[in-house]
Structure 1
Amino acid sequence: MASAQERNIWKTLGPGILFASTAIGVSHLVQSTQAGANYGYSLLWAVIIANVLKYPFFEYGSRYANATGTSIIDGYKKLGKPFIWGYFIITIGSMFFVSAAVGKVTTGFMQNLFGISSTYTAMAIIFTVCGAILISGKYKVLDGLIKIIGTVLVVSTLFAFIMTLIHGRSGDTGLFELSWFPEGDNIVFLIALMGWMPTAVDLSAWNSLWTVERIKQTGYQPKLKETLLDFRIGYWASALLSICFVTLGAFLMFGTGQKFSPGMAGFANDVISLYTAAIGDWSYLIIASAAFSIMFGTCIAIFDGYGRALTRVTTLLFQKNDSDDKPERKYQIGVAITVIGSFIVIALFENNADGFKFLVNFAQTLSFIIAPFVAWANFKLVSKNQIGDKSPGLTMKVLSIAGIIFLSGFSVYYLFLLISPFFS
């Protein structure tokens, strides 16, 4: 029989796996694989640094929720109106475009797996199923589903990674031959890779929302070390898998002259072909199913996260009483708004790739600019005068300061690149 400690840990597990599922989709399966395929190991430093220096600010979401029993969004309101309004603006400004981008990638993997030619049909199925699961089942169904998907993801990726190492490299170009800091148009890819690795910093609030919901679901108030263990398992598992995806791209495509297809369905087939090249053609259906499951898990977690964030931030801003009098109904409305709005965005820009890219870039820019402020707010909210003896130790404080400096410099540099063409 399991000990009481083991049962308590099992009751706590969930939010960290949800975080990993959110992160692994686009930033790992898409961007990390492309980083390896196009640059070998030259950008591996960027993946590692981003994961390490952003860690504190994601962990603080879980830490704050454990210490206070409320989400860190509630903490933003305590810091003052500019912070809670800032979070509201970035949520509204990014939710439809980010969800739409994830939905498009998921659609491509579904089309590849089931041979669906119509993008709209695949997209309608995915969005409807995700919305129905969340609206009807809420967190309990999501938690169970993500644990299954997460297990499939980890096993399939690690197996492909090991088989890739055994298989050896396909190209003959040195893995570190290219410049570690690309120039020209390639710098945009580096910025996107670091900015969304493992995901945007403003999504750190989702950890706190999921932690609070997990406590409500199980009726168990975990110790701080249990909550942090859950988050660390998810976070560092996603960090390890990002390196695996870089390796898959580097070993199997870099230096071969092969390029990813521009269309989503073609891109999905190319990614799956990387796995089968290492494992064998017999595994195609298994890998295609696993890859689609990865993206489906990311898609449903994105809808849930934005739905919860929208619900909480609007409650804090526009309701006199901060408590949720009808939490289930508000959550259902939040999810419905996210799903329908994202579908409309894709439908409006399906035949206008440049327009859709502009909207995604807008959301990305918004996240980049606000990232240092979110990081600073999270750091301030876990100080001793806010959460007492559950505040982080010296090592985490030093890492936090380094992370804030990194994000600030990163944002300033990104803004410089945006405005420099107007002065040339």
Structure 2
Amino acid sequence: MTGTQDTEGTEGTEAEGARPPAARTRTRKASWKHIGPGIVVAATGVGAGDLVATLIAGSKFGYTLLWAAIAGCLVKISLAEATGRWHLATGRTILDGWRSLGAWTSVYFGLYVIVWGFIYGAAAMSSTALPLAALFPDTPGGLKTFAIAAGLIGLALVWFNRYARFEKLMTVLIGIKFLIVVYVAVRVAPDVPAALAGLVPVLPDGSFFYTLGLIGGVGGTITMAAYGYWINSKGWTDASWMKMMRLDNRVAYLTTGVFVVAMLIIGAELLHASHLALEGGGDKGLLGLSDILEERFGVFTAKLFLVGFCATSFSALVGVWHGVSLLFADFTERLLRTRQGIEENAVEEVAKGRRERSWPFRAYMLWLTFPPMGLLWLDEPFGLVVAYGVLGALFMPFLALTLLWLLNSVRTPLEWRNGWVSNGMLLVAGLLFVVLCVQQLRELPW
């Protein structure tokens, strides 16, 4: 294992044989200039659905659930740290870890990633198209035109670029959505004393599942598992990068936390304090917020918010097209090579960019893009929305509980196994996501 960087646009291109043995195990200094994978996971993990959930929580309960948004960031920091620690400490990918737990994990993941990708592709394209259709209402074909264009542009950006350029693109997108949402939050003039009071954990009447959803929904579902692949793509391939990974991860969820708190402020001030409700459900509710912003602050602020909405949805789309395709490529390549009796170092394959050039990587991108376009012609795809919510809920317990298993076993070097804090956070996360999953299933229109 080495700590080399990918030769395309990243630092440290020494070959393993050129390094003295001690250099491979030294702890590298955590440096702000190397931050990147965390920005990618933050840009991908917070999509329009997270904006809506946070906005609704703010509109219904004001600042009361601010503590839950922050707690959600702490839960996801623990999950992402555990994923990254597994990749760096063991030199194996999370797919390798799952396979070591039994064939059932491969069956579960294989079925999940196929069904989820089909549904998510349509949801992501539609979500990106909504603000564009509002900004350019006279475009022929309207929503469908923009949705198809979003999918094709996302496909091209990932297909023709490698991780280094992909990371730069995601940094630009998160910068746009972060600055716009924070700007709007400042414009609505937050009630600072009420916000500080919201840091005290309380549960207003009727807020239990909103609270759990806010904690569990901040910053990603299956993309949490992609974080390990992004740090490997950056060139971080062994435990010497552990401090850097942890700094990177904390920056990611600090950014996410500020973003989510800003949206909760917008919901609390614009909707809760004014006793207003959003028109339309799901992502369409964000268009209703744009109308309210136009009434209060003028056309410029409303249009700017739509640009932020678009950047939020599109960054999630591009991040999934890249990150989940890496997961699928690793899953497929490992399955094929195991059957052929071929051994490989999957972490090094990712670090060298070979997974990004593999046919399974590109096949999954095509799966995300073209088959879901047929769903765009459904007039009222309520079943699609319900299925997407349930599928998201089904993955997080699997991730949290398998990480708990892997990082307390002999599969992980003793130095890097879970301590009581990590065990506590992963156990809480696993139980939280189980409850949310059961709730999602209960709400299905059986």
2:43–2:174 Cα contact (<8 Å) kept: yes
Deviations 1:192-215 (A, max 9, x none): 545433322x43211111111111
CA distance in 1, matches of 2:246, 2:192: 37
Deviations 1:235-289 (A, max 9, x none): 2321232121011011011253433232789644433456667765444444433
2:81–2:246 Cα contact (<8 Å) kept: yes
CA distance in 2, matches of 1:167, 1:40: 10
Rate the CA distance shift 1:63–1:263 in 2: closer, same or farther, 3 A.
same
Equivalent residue, structure 2, for 1:31: 53
Aligned positions of 1:17-28 closer than 5 A: 17-28=39-50
Equivalent residue, structure 1, for 2:104: 82
1:27–1:198 Cα contact (<8 Å) kept: no
Q: Give the superposition deviation at 1:393.
A: 3.1
Equivalent residue, structure 2, for 1:197: 218
Equivalent residue, structure 2, for 1:381: 406
CA distance in 2, matches of 1:370, 1:6: 33
CA distance in 2, matches of 1:364, 1:414: 7
Deviates more, 1:368-377 or 1:131-140: 368-377
- AA in 2 matched with 1:207: Y
More helix by share: 1
Aligned positions of 1:342-421 closer than 5 A: 342-347=372-377, 349=378, 351=379, 353=380, 356-383=381-408, 385-388=410-413, 389-415=415-441, 417-418=442-443
Q: Secondary structure at the match of 1:387?
A: coil
1:108–1:266 Cα contact (<8 Å) kept: yes
Deviations 1:43-75 (A, max 9, x none): 445434433334322221122222234321221
CA distance in 2, matches of 1:359, 1:264: 12
**Structure 1: gaps (5+ residues):** none
Rate the CA distance shift 1:369–1:253 in 2: closer, same or farther, 3 A.
same
**One of 200, 205, 230 as aligned partner of 2:248:** 230
Aligned positions of 1:308-323 closer than 5 A: 308-319=326-337, 320=339, 321=342, 323=344
Q: Secondary structure at the match of 1:70?
A: coil
**One of 338, 348, 358 as aligned partner of 1:329:** 358
CA distance in 2, matches of 1:91, 1:98: 10
Q: Secondary structure at the match of 2:234?
A: helix
1:27–1:199 Cα contact (<8 Å) kept: no
Rate the CA distance shift 1:369–1:332 in 2: closer, same or farther, 3 A.
closer
Rate the CA distance shift 1:28–1:372 in 2: closer, same or farther, 3 A.
closer
Rate the CA distance shift 1:212–1:164 in 2: closer, same or farther, 3 A.
same
Rate the CA distance shift 1:283–1:407 in 2: closer, same or farther, 3 A.
closer
Equivalent residue, structure 1, for 2:311: 293
CA distance in 2, matches of 1:69, 1:333: 26
Name the % identity.
Answer: 18
TM-score w.r.t. the length of structure 1 is 0.81
TM-score w.r.t. the length of structure 2 is 0.78
CA distance in 2, matches of 1:46, 1:91: 29
Deviates more, 1:60-69 or 1:5-14: 5-14
Equivalent residue, structure 2, for 1:91: 113
**Structure 2: gaps (5+ residues):** 1-11, 13-26
2:88–2:238 Cα contact (<8 Å) kept: no
Equivalent residue, structure 1, for 2:137: 115
Rate the CA distance shift 1:84–1:146 in 2: closer, same or farther, 3 A.
same
CA distance in 2, matches of 1:259, 1:265: 14
CA distance in 1, matches of 2:61, 2:163: 39
Query: Is the counterpart of residue 144 in structure 1 residue 162 in structure 2?
Result: no
Deviations 1:24-60 (A, max 9, x none): 2224322211221244234445434433334322221
Q: Secondary structure at the match of 1:401?
A: helix
Aligned positions of 1:171-182 closer than 5 A: 180-182=204-206
Query: Is the counterpart of residue 162 in structure 1 residue 183 in structure 2?
Result: no
Equivalent residue, structure 1, for 2:157: 133
1:8–1:222 Cα contact (<8 Å) kept: no
CA distance in 2, matches of 1:285, 1:192: 29
Rate the CA distance shift 1:279–1:18 in 2: closer, same or farther, 3 A.
farther
CA distance in 2, matches of 1:270, 1:125: 24
Deviations 1:343-400 (A, max 9, x none): 22323x2x1x2xx222332232233245323211112222363332233433222222
Equivalent residue, structure 1, for 2:15: none
Rate the CA distance shift 1:109–1:414 in 2: closer, same or farther, 3 A.
closer
Query: Is the counterpart of residue 213 in structure 1 residue 233 in structure 2?
Result: yes
Q: What is the number of residues matched between the two proteins?
A: 401
1:224–1:390 Cα contact (<8 Å) kept: no
